[in-house]
A and B are shown apart, each in its own frame.
Chain A
């Protein structure tokens, strides 16, 4: 098998045994990029020089006989809304088209400190607003399984890059499903850790109370290693939990006997593609066969999650995105008459349609006379949704369902229908509202397109999720499937 197709933990073994060098791995990944980037278009910016220098550093340490970290020398791609000092961070927006931040996101710094190798910055929906990566100001990203289809979004570039072998692992951000849904569409593993588990410092916010950084990997073992690196308290983020996280690789145990799994019937209701449902049912059978106790349950407020989410996320976004005004950074129109003119035209030309729509919605839901009916109401409904989870997770160790109601859709298919587009996230959104950890892992194909299985856990219990996911993976072959490119 080619190097770019291997997992990080396999490459680590080879590095340690000196069967391969970090430079060779990096070279293989960049060759792969050269070979398939035309078809996939995962990246906005490539950082080959940085990558080669980082890889050389790892090789130097190996040559000196030093022990290396589990992910040292592993090529990683970053969603382009994660700030990287000295490397432009665009959020796929004209607004930040040449924005080079003078600081680095905490999660990224941790990857640097663990000596991963930075391949580049990946494409996304502008400011992470979208479910298909079609809202990028730069270009479309194509699903490696079918070039006519979207890779999902908003972390579409990060998912496509891992699936296509253009990076071994990557980071995305997940506000309403933006890691899990593209991971599902691209047949890779994606995880949104518990809110507060990973520092948000340096992740350009969409909706601060929902955003969370998480990894996309080829298998669950790599996921555990990535979590070990990026999780942990950060004094720069007030919402970062001050907890010591366990060594997540300890949960890579092939055993789920006695595990109690709830399947919310709302996650398999109408609106979910019947073939997707079949794959999920097969997964349930597999889990049962492996000794888990699986039972149907109910999350009665699920239907309200989508509208509540859109009101809350856009309200926060309308405020988070107010700073893009052309004053001290970012895009500014050239010929402004006065400050208000500069604000209005810089913002109108700097933002794309979906971003503007969401700013409008969020501004409206916070404005005088509508606050109680929309924003406040949504916060209360959020409480009810969280209570649904609290009750279910008192009874079950984890919850199971599809990641997305369908497989990857065609480019352009939903772009003019925001509601239908938003419905792509109905299974993932409730999890963000409740702040819980969830993982999406491959559970088979429908018409040669990957289907994702979502497992949802208790707050800060990523361990149980990993163990269940690992067990499922060890006893199935789905994660070995790769797209032909």
Chain B
């Protein structure tokens, strides 16, 4: 069972600010989903390796050559706030 405190903690980790109603709703919905996920515990996976990638691809590399970059203005132009060529953010602490 996931508690409202768990939901609070997870929301903090995920940087989400939830209203009381949302907390209620998410607690309820997450419990439903996690309950369904319990079925997985029935499966014997003792000697089964995990599959993070379905394809057996390995060693994909790029040569160490400087490429053409985009105009930095293009990236700065879509910033919510900038100062000269910096991205501007509220104070950290």
Contacts and interface: CB of A to CB of B under 8 A. Distances in A.
The answer to whether any beta carbons of A and B sit under 8 Å apart in the complex is: yes
A279 interface: no
Nearest to B91: A338
Contacts of A241: 55, 57
A327 B76 CA distance: 11
A325 B15 contact: yes
B42 to A, nearest CB: 8
A304 interface: yes
Interface residues of B, number: 52
Given A340-B15, A357-B26, A360-B10, A102 B78 contact: yes
Given A301-B43, A318-B14, A332 B53 contact: no
Given A339-B91, A380-B48, A386 B54 contact: yes
A239 B55 contact: yes
15 contacts: A100-B78, A102-B75, A195-B54, A209-B53, A306-B36, A307-B39, A329-B79, A348-B18, A356-B16, A360-B14, A361-B33, A363-B14, A364-B2, A364-B34, A367-B13
Interface string A321-359: 010011111111000111111111101100101001101
Given A348-B16, A348-B17, A386-B54, A338 B90 contact: yes
B15 A344 contact: yes
B45 interface: yes
Nearest to B59: A238
Contacts of B93: 338
Given A304-B39, A307-B40, A418-B32, A376 B50 contact: yes
Nearest to A300: B43
A299 to B, nearest CB: 14
Interface in B1-38: 2, 6-7, 9-11, 13-18, 22, 25-26, 29-30, 32-34, 36-37
A329 B76 CA distance: 9
Given A328-B79, A338-B93, A418-B33, A304 B43 contact: yes
Interface in A284-309: 301, 303-304, 306-308
Interface-central residue, B14, B26, B91, B93, by most chain A CB under 10 Å = B14
A381 interface: yes
A235 interface: yes
A377 B45 contact: yes
Nearest to B71: A102
Interface of B: 2, 6-7, 9-11, 13-18, 22, 25-26, 29-30, 32-34, 36-37, 39-41, 43, 45, 48-55, 57, 60, 62, 70-71, 74-75, 78-81, 87, 89-93
B49 A383 contact: yes
B52 A434 contact: no
B92 to A, nearest CB: 5
B29 A357 contact: yes
Contact of B37 (A103, A235, A307, A340): A307
B15 A380 contact: no
A338 B78 contact: no
A326 B41 contact: no
Contacts of B80: 326-332
A382 B16 contact: no
Interface in A205-234: 209
Contacts of A83: none
B43 A345 contact: no
A425 B92 CA distance: 42
Interface in A163-183: none
Contacts of A202: none
